[in-house]
Amino acid sequence: MQDIKELSLGELEEKLLSWGKPKYHARQIFSWIYQKGSYDFNSMSDLPAALRGILADEFYVLGLSLADLKKSADGTVKFLFELNDANLIEAVNIPTAKRATGCISSQAGCKFACEFCASGLKGFKRNLTSGEILDEVLYLKNNLKDAQLTHIVFMGTGEPLDNYDNLLKAIRIINSADAFNIGARRITISTCGVIPGIKRLQEEDLQVELSISLHAADDNLRSRIMPVNRKYPLGDLIKCCQEYVERTNRQITFEYILARDLNSDYSAAQKLVALLKNLRLAKVNLIPANPIPKSKIIPPSESEVRLFKDYLFKAGLNVTLRKERGQDINAACGQLRLKYEQD
């Protein structure tokens, strides 16, 4: 049995033609799965019964199952999913008044071992298939009560640009008017700075948003807390971002976790300004760190956060402060999976 969501619309049309069936059924099937949220071919009532039977013999729709679920007082819902090989992944629904953002994992585990992030603590398991990435989106969409799933951020477990082909294949279906129909500008890829992936992305005909997890503006510190910096140091990364902005004319958001006694003092702010001040269309998103087990990472005081933000603002940077959501349910960054695997 194969995951039908691994097929693009064109591939599904080909499949139908190979069975001697009209290809327009592909659009109907897409609509049943991605728009009406059906997991069961037999419920796809406008398809001929014979075709429904063939589909059910060859394919399945949903490849994961729910292993745990946590609801936050602020409406955030975190899902822990079990894949068909028993690996665990997380995805989070973050609703606000009019919209809902789905935070999606791209890999089971993570090989990048950033010091402040819980996702890497158990090492890397494997890439997710495009169908598994779409499973997460489908599940989140079908489990929203009052809101529409309007935004997708690849800020769950794993490094999206380290699973490039499967990521892009899934994003094209998330974006497609025949499927989820979520605008590319509402889809954010977050990377720890995998330069070859950023270079590929700038050549795609897709207006997706790019976030870079920066977290330190000098190479010594960044290499210590984000080992990926040893391979792709800041000078190369910023040059690559410059090229990306010139080529696409799109903004890049730099995510910067603020952690006490690490990267949140005056000199760190100065370095951050120096690093980004000549980069057109750069935005900084400050995130007070979430403490994670077995690490010294804790957030600075509110006044330190405000000082840091004001310094960047006065220096002319476009800066925002992220509101933390779902803290009461370990919603941030691999923490639910971690808790689960430790229990």
- Which window, 5-13, 44-52, 59-67, 190-198, contacts ligand SAH (CB under 6 A)? 190-198
Smaller CB separation from ligand SAH, 47 or 269: 269
Burial (Cβ within 10 Å: 0-12, 13-18, ≥19) of residue 305: middle
Among 7, 26, 201, 289, binds ligand SAH (CB under 6 A): 289
Q: Do 290 and 252 form a contact (C-beta atoms < 8 A)?
A: no
Among 12, 80, 155, 208, binds ligand SAH (CB under 6 A): 155
Smaller CB separation from ligand SAH, 9 or 233: 233
SS3 154: strand
Q: Is 321 left (phi over 0), alpha (psi -120 to 50) or beta?
A: beta
Smaller CB separation from ligand SAH, 44 or 194: 194
CB of 255 to ligand SAH, least distance (A): 4
Q: Does 116 interact with ligand SAH (rule: CB under 6 A)?
A: yes
150-189 as b/e, with b when 16 or more CB fall inside 10 Å? Answer: bbbbbbbbbbbbbbbebbbbbbbbbbeebbbebebebbbb
> According to CB under 6 A, which residues from 201 to 220 bind ligand SAH?
213
The whole-angstrom separation of Cα 153 and Cα 285 is 14
Q: How many residues bind ligand SAH (CB under 6 A)?
A: 17
Contacts of 11 (CB under 8 A, 6+ apart): none
Smaller CB separation from ligand SAH, 47 or 332: 332
Among 192, 272, 312, 317, binds ligand SAH (CB under 6 A): 192
> According to CB under 6 A, which residues from 319 to 338 bind ligand SAH?
332-333
CB of 209 to ligand SAH, least distance (A): 12
- Which window, 26-34, 71-79, 283-291, 301-309, contacts ligand SAH (CB under 6 A)? 283-291
Q: Do 228 and 215 form a contact (C-beta atoms < 8 A)?
A: no
**In terms of Cα–Cα distance, which of 299, 224, 226, 287 is closest to 259?**
299
DSSP 8-state assignment for residue 289: P
**90 classed as catalytic:** yes
Q: Does 255 interact with ligand SAH (rule: CB under 6 A)?
A: yes
SS3 335: helix
- Give the active site residue among 90, 132, 136, 209: 90
CB of 222 to ligand SAH, least distance (A): 12
CB of 17 to ligand SAH, least distance (A): 38
CB of 61 to ligand SAH, least distance (A): 27
Q: Does 166 interact with ligand SAH (rule: CB under 6 A)?
A: no
**What tokens appear for 185 in the block?**
């500008």
Burial (Cβ within 10 Å: 0-12, 13-18, ≥19) of residue 15: buried
Among 76, 188, 191, 330, binds ligand SAH (CB under 6 A): 191
Smaller CB separation from ligand SAH, 51 or 272: 272
Read off the amino acid at residue 17. Answer: L
**In terms of Cα–Cα distance, which of 130, 153, 189, 180 is closest to 332?**
153
Among 130, 248, 290, 330, binds ligand SAH (CB under 6 A): 290
Q: Do 193 and 231 form a contact (C-beta atoms < 8 A)?
A: no
Helices (H), the chain: 9-18, 25-30, 49-58, 130-142, 164-175, 195-201, 219-225, 228-231, 234-248, 266-276, 302-314, 335-342
Q: Does 257 interact with ligand SAH (rule: CB under 6 A)?
A: yes
Q: Does 100 interact with ligand SAH (rule: CB under 6 A)?
A: no
Binding site for ligand SAH (CB under 6 A): 116-117, 155, 159, 190-192, 213, 255, 257, 287, 289-290, 292, 297, 332-333
Residues acting as catalytic residues: 90, 333
